[in-house]
Structure formats: C-alpha cells, structure tokens
Amino acid sequence: MSEPLLEVKDLNIHFFTDEGVVKAADGVDLIIERGKTLCLVGESGCGKSVTSRSFLNIIPSPGKIVSGQMLYRQQLPDGTTTTIDLAALDPKGKDIRRIRGKEISMIFQEPMTSLSMMHTVGDQITETIRLHENVSKQEARDRAIEMLRLVGIPKPARLIDEYPFRLSGGMRQRTMIAMALCCNPTMLIADEPTTALDVTTQAQILDLMLELQQRYNMALLFITHDLGVVAEIADEVAVMYLGKIVERADVDTIFNAPKHPYTQALLHSIPKIAMKREELDPIKGMIPNPYRRPSGCAFHPRCSQVMERCKHITPNVTAIQPDHTVRCLLYEDMPEQVTQKEAMHHD
C-alpha cells in the first residue's frame, strides 16, 4: 500500500439555504494515496464536485464544512513530513493559499468559465508561477512556454500571448492542465476534465495526464461519469450517492464483483455496441430532492433489492475485504465468515 497523501475522515458539508439544509457531503471517508489514481463516480448531484472543492477550501456560499477532518501529509524542504488538517484552515488565510494551486491543484469542469477571457494565456499561467515561487517574469514566462509545449500545444511561444476565447475547447482544456501543473503539485484534482471534448481529444488528454502523473509522482483524484474512463485510468474507485461513499474498492473488484446495488445499476446501465435502444437498462427513478431526503438508506426508493428495513435503517460501512467496503444492509448483518466466503466466491 502506498503512503496516504490525503485522509478524509467523516467530512460533512452543508449548504444553509432559505428552503432548508442540503447535506452535500454526509460523512465522507476517503484515502488518496501518493502517486495513485482514485476515481470518484456517481450521478450528477451526488456531491462529488463539492467534496473535491473542499480539499482546496473553495466551497461556494452558502456551503460550509461543519465537521470532519482532511488530513494532508505535507512534505517539508528537509524531507520530513507534517500533517495539516485542511478543514481547520481559514479559507482566505495564508496557509491554505500556499497549498492551493501549488501542492494541491485542480482542473475545473468548464475551462471557458475558469479562465479569464480578459487576460492572455501567458498572463494567467505566469501569475500562478510567480505567486508560489520566487522567479523573475522572464523565468516564469519560459516555464509557462515549456509547460504549454509539454501538454501538446503547437507553437507555444506564439500561443502564450493569445486570449482563451480564441482557442478551441481542446486547447483551452490543455491550457487549464498546464496552469494546474505549472508548480508540480503533489495532488491533482480533475473534475470531469474531458466531458466537453470529442473522443480523440479526450483520449489525448487522458494519456497526457497519466504521463505527467508518472513523471511527477502525483496523486490524481479524477471525477467522472464515464465508467469507460474509470476502467482505463483508475487504481481505486469510490462510488458516491447523495453525499455518501456507498462502495470503495480497487478498479478490478468494482467492475468484476460490485456489491452495492447502486454500483451494480451503474454498470448495468452502460450501453453496449450490439445493444438496441429498447434493451437499455437505466437506473429507475431520479436522485431525490436534496431537501427531502428519504429515510433509511438513501438509495432504497430506486433499489431493485430493497428490503423493508432499508426504509428505516441507515446502513453503516461494512468491510467485505480489507480494501473493499460497502454501505448496504444486505451485508451489514452477515457473519464475518459468510461475508468473506461470498467475497472469495466472487473472486
């Protein structure tokens, strides 16, 4: 097992609105390891983006971290490590600003809204470099050009003086990646970075991110809906539903022996090449209104294996194997030897 870089313990993020309280993250537990790729999957509205934004303390108002820990193991210049609780830092303070963009960086879902249209590509990348490192304007510009070349942008010395609105979607996404990686972060958060791109560009971006991950030994938290992408790049997978991690395991286990009915439904809903439209198997129902969460297990209104007690009892986390956990009443009351026997049977 690799060294844990970020350990999230019982993270709760609430949005306090006039209509009520929305629990965007409801007791989230995650471990992100140095040099590994963790894919966070689930439908829209499950809390994936809000959870990832909390690692940088950039949760939009009126959201707030109400409890929990985010233990980040920071490497010091002398080679030793110290542990920082990111949840306890002031969102506007100097400590988180030193980490944000340098040690933990993020590629946002839509580069058109994340890049400033009023400033050139070069201005935005060099500003990031000079904010975190003591270099001259020329040194920062040279590094920005090198970073643009590294992410596969042709003629970077010319493009660095262009404005983002003059670039294609793929070019803007590459620019975002260059900006995120310009300070060699130890952890990169990628929030659906390929959703708006064509298939060819998507494949190039994924290859690029994996290549840079190996070069810098980065931890990569990849948020996506695309289970094909997950199968290609993930080391581990965490499945999220309505603010909770309902299953977590290595990528082979998730695809070959999924336990939670929600994970199974996600996998069954993937279209296959020879499948006709009437043969599609979507997950029935919709994600519940966040202001009217169902009692008991949040997935029970849509679950094909629902039991009466699922409507009243909130499931706890059950370990199927040491590295495979699931939050489901189907496994919670099983004797340990039976659980292990069934896990071996699936393997």
Alpha helices in 86-198 (DSSP H): 94-99, 111-114, 121-132, 137-150, 156-159, 169-181
Query: Tens digit of pLDDT for each residue in 88-117?
Result: 999 999 999 999 988 999 988 777 777 888
pLDDT above 90: percentage of residues in the chain: 55
Helix axes 137-150, 121-132, angle to 10 degrees: 120
Could you tell me the pLDDT band of residue 259, with boundaries at 50, 70 and 90?
Answer: very high
Could you tell me the pLDDT band of residue 311, with boundaries at 50, 70 and 90?
Answer: very high
Q: How far apart are CA 265 and CA 281, in angstroms?
A: 8
Burial class (CB in 10 A: 0-12, 13-18, 19+), 163: middle
Burial class (CB in 10 A: 0-12, 13-18, 19+), 313: middle
Query: Tens digit of pLDDT for each residue in 260-286?
Result: 999 999 998 877 766 666 667 788 888
DSSP class of residue 111 equals: H
Two structure tokens written together for 255:
């695809």
Phi, psi dihedral angles at 250 (to 5 degrees): -70, 160
Model confidence, pTM: 0.87
DSSP class of residue 35 equals: T
- On the question of pLDDT at 153 being above 70, the answer is yes
Residue 178 lies inside a defined structural domain of this protein: no
Burial class (CB in 10 A: 0-12, 13-18, 19+), 121: buried
Residue 133 lies inside a defined structural domain of this protein: no
Residue span of the structural domain in which 285 resides: 265-346
Residue 308 lies inside a defined structural domain of this protein: yes
Residue 293 lies inside a defined structural domain of this protein: yes
Query: Tens digit of pLDDT for each residue in 29-88?
Result: 999 999 999 999 998 889 999 999 999 999 988 999 999 999 999 988 887 889 999 999
pLDDT of residue 286: 86
pLDDT of residue 278: 60
Residue 299 lies inside a defined structural domain of this protein: yes
Q: How far apart are CA 328 and CA 91, in angstroms?
A: 35
Q: How far apart are CA 275 and CA 282, in angstroms?
A: 13
Yes or no: say if 57 and 86 are a contact pair by the CB < 8 Å rule: yes
- Please state whether the peptide bond connecting residue 62 to the residue before it is cis, i.e. omega within 30 degrees of 0: yes
Residue 297 lies inside a defined structural domain of this protein: yes
- On the question of pLDDT at 170 being above 50, the answer is yes
Yes or no: say if 8 and 78 are a contact pair by the CB < 8 Å rule: no
Burial class (CB in 10 A: 0-12, 13-18, 19+), 70: buried
Residue 87 lies inside a defined structural domain of this protein: no
The total domain count for the chain is 1
Two structure tokens written together for 150:
């590294």
pLDDT of residue 274: 65
Buried b (16+ CB within 10 A) or exposed e, 241-269: bbbbbbbbbebebbbebbbbbbbbbbeee
Yes or no: say if 96 and 56 are a contact pair by the CB < 8 Å rule: yes
Residue 119 lies inside a defined structural domain of this protein: no
**What are the CA-CA distances from residue 256 to residues 39, 251, 268, 324, 331 (Å)?**
16, 9, 12, 13, 18
